[in-house]
Amino acid sequence: MAAALEGVRVLDLSRVLAGPWSTQILADLGADVLKIETPGRGDDTRAWGPPYLKGPDGTDELGESAYYLSCNRNKRSLAVDLASKSGSDLIRRLAAEADIVVENFKVGGLAKYGLDAASLHAINPRLVYCSITGFGQTGPYTQRGGYDFVAQGQGGFMSVTGEADGGPLRAGVAMADLSTGLYATVSILAALRHAERTGEGQHIDISLLDTQIAMLANQGMSYLVGGVVPGRLGNRHPTVVPYKTFEVADGVIIIAVGNDGQFRLLCDELGLAGVADDPRFARSRDRLANRDAIEGIVQDAVRALPGKPLIERLTARGIPAGPVNRLDEVFADPFVAARGTVHRFRRADGVEIPSVAFPAKLSATPADMRRAPPKTGEGGAEALGEWLGLDASGYDSLKASGAFG
């Protein structure tokens, strides 16, 4: 069965997370992704540990951090010295054969090597060239470095995240990077469709800050529409009540009532006679105006009840509810086995590499878990043979020229 992106070649000049997250998605869907790394150290995230993957002798493999492994499967690696003439020449040759280039250098950082969008489009007019930066190719902050933490703060996300009486809080994973990677992938696929139809490539300019502001969603629109500057609400929802975590006898669970019908079911299941008809709580807007009162009533009703049986009771009635799991509990959930959420690669040396699989299930062109994340340079010679027709002597000539550092 042919993969959705079979035959599409991606030259990946990105590192850390937003770019590699995007190119991993493309690779999962069948694209041939060649990851260009810095000779010696490779992608910065190779060293971002511990934890590191255990080698065949049981010791840590430096350069195989969990962070790196999370976003680089299904790729081949080639270590190239971009600063050398032979190295930049090699990248131009590869770009001439590529359909997509993804890079996350600082604005203008690749121009000095002749690897910027304009230079590569002169070689390959149909090329989809995606630049991921912290603040975009234009605007007042173009020369600033791009970091997820900064984008979460500057983009307003941290002002609405955390407890009401606490300080600003970033998300526990790099949400600005990850969402930028997703938006980049959507944009790349749209541009690829255009290039296939017209032969015209284009330059995609996407930034962490643009994306983080877009991801404010309803919170951002609350300000634009109503002048409301939302604050931190902990686990409460800004407009839907009751919709939060509640203490139960053995921990904490989530109850997320999304409409008036679900609220009546909740009251019935918890034996809260008359509460659903109380004019303070009958409608969504009434419950919002009387948030503390209704949340207190629900909390009193569930405090002495064990969580798991309560969740089962509520979900059986169509009331959204669930646990607050630790990661060991997440990966022990029967959902994970049933949905094939974890894929395990096995290298030739016997080392097993777990990976969280591509989440969407495509009926005709499913994602393909075919390659474990590469070691630095792994698969590079093979890719050069396929992309450029280089044999062993051609590879040795490049090596002698200093292209590989």
Active site residues: 177
**What does the angle CA 228 – CA 233 – CA 237 come to, to the nearest 5 degrees?**
80
**How far is Cα of residue 203 from the mean position of the Cα atoms in its chain?**
21
Strands ordered across the beta sheet of 128-133: 75-79, 32-37, 9-13, 100-103, 128-133, 202-207
Which residues 6+ apart lie within 8 Å of 166 measured at CB? 232, 234
- Identify the residue whose tokens are 């070689």: 123
Task: Please identify which residue in the block is written with the tokens 């009540």.
Answer: 241
Q: Which of 104, 129, 55, 115 is nearest to 81 (CA)?
A: 115
Two tokens, residue 360: 């969407």
* CA-based end-to-end distance of the chain: 39
Q: Residues 75, 374: contact at Cβ < 8 Å?
A: yes
> Measuring CA to CA, how many Å separate 22 from each of 15, 109, 292, 345?
11, 20, 42, 21
Residue ranges of the alpha helices (H) in 235-326? 260-269, 284-289, 291-302, 307-316
d(CA 205, CA 186): 13
Strands 243-248 and 251-256: antiparallel
Backbone angles phi, psi at 248, to 5 degrees: -125, 180
Q: If you search the block for the tokens 């995240």, which residue do you land on?
A: 161
Please check whether residue 311 is in contact with residue 270, taking contact to mean a CB–CB distance below 8 angstroms.
no
